[in-house]
Amino acid sequence: MKLLARALALTTLLLLFPGTVLAEALPSWNDGAAKTAIQSFVQRVTDPAGKDFVRPEARIAVFDNDGTLWVEQPMYTQLAFALERLKELAPQHPEWLQNPTLKAAIDGDLKTVAAAGEKGLLELVMVTHAGMTPEEFQAIVADWLAKARHPRFKKPYTQLVYQPMLELLAYLRENGFTTYIVSGGGVEFMRSWMENVYRILPAQVVGSSIKTRFEMVDGKPALVRQPELNFIDDGAGKPVGINEHIGQRPIAAFGNSDGDLQMLQWTTAGEGPRFGLIVHHTDAEREYAYDRTSSFGHLDKALDAAPAAGWTVVDMKSDWKTVFPPAK
């Protein structure tokens, strides 16, 4: 009914005002195969008379965050936050110098930190993100994001989101989709700012997490974050996280790295119309160019799997008119 009402309203507008120029969908996308594939899929699943119609409550779209919706080079934003917080807290924790990964991070040796892989990153997160309530942690994150600047672009990280993807989020929602974030990033790190930037509510964010415990603090009930791993929402963990938090298989998935491979596979293996998309970073001038050898946003297996799976691969350099939103 909502789509019918919208169509009738647009028809009435054009009849009453023949010269009206309707806003273009996805204006920051160049005409081409990627834009056509997106619009064709949306038209198919929203046409009540078509064989591929999907009822609105089943129109679930999931998006990775780092490298899919905002910049992830030269390192993940949450890692930049954790490194800065580690150095700030280090004088209070001389024992951290006995841990090779933590010592390397304190010394600014990012090569060693990256070589530690997922385990090393989790060590950083657990020692810098625990010992406080979720509300206290989110306030710390919000304060850091307000002050932090990207080393290359000298702008707040929340201004380094991808304009074409912001338009895609809005386009899907206008067509009855519910959009979720499914990211390897910390769920409470993301929930502190995503509503303002992406118009995505905290309940629609799925991410990695550390354990949280109920405690009485100064006579008041509180949740306190613990330095223990709870769940890794990356790789094979993403379909699990989707199932546990959303409770139904999406019909569209958007990612940019091998960490999104299983999410793309699981989403597009379902019955009925399905859509998978990979953002391929090919624009060193306007952003970054990287894929198979990158420490962050490594894209290899998913890129090879895309043609046979029928996933759309976005070439950032040729498919996007612009990368970041216009300066405010």
Nearest to 68 by CA among 159, 220, 238, 183: 183
Q: Residue 78: which of 19, 10, 25, 148 has the closest Cα?
A: 148
Give the residue-averaged pLDDT of 232-241. Answer: 96
Assign 122 a pLDDT band (cuts: 50, 70, 90): confident
Predicted pLDDT at 23: 53
Return all residues near 277 (Cβ < 8 A) that are at least 6 apart.
34, 37, 38, 252, 253, 254, 255, 311, 312, 313, 314
Give me the sign of the Cα torsion angle 164, 205, 311, 157: positive
Domain ranges of the chain: 2-10+26-42+53-73+157-319, 77-147
Percentage of the chain lying above the pLDDT 70 cut: 93
Q: Residue 218 phi/psi, 5° resolution?
A: 55, 40
188 band by pLDDT with thresholds 50, 70 and 90 = very high
What would the mean pLDDT of 275-287 be, rounded to a whole number? Answer: 98
Separation between Cα atoms, residue 290 and residue 283, nearest integer Å: 9
- Residue 5, pLDDT above cutoff 60: no
Confidence band (pLDDT; 50, 70, 90) for 25?
A: very high
Rounded-to-integer distance, Cα 248 and Cα 177, Å: 14
What are 59's two structure tokens? Answer: 């129109």
What is the pLDDT at residue 88?
A: 95
Whether the model clears a pTM of 0.85, i.e. scores above it, the answer is yes
CATH fold for the domain made of 2-10+26-42+53-73+157-319: Rossmann fold (3.40.50)
Non-local (6+) Cβ contacts of 324 within 8 A are 153, 159, 160, 161, 162, 163, 287
pLDDT at 56: 98
Better-predicted residue by pLDDT, 39 or 15: 39
Q: Which pLDDT belongs to residue 13?
A: 38
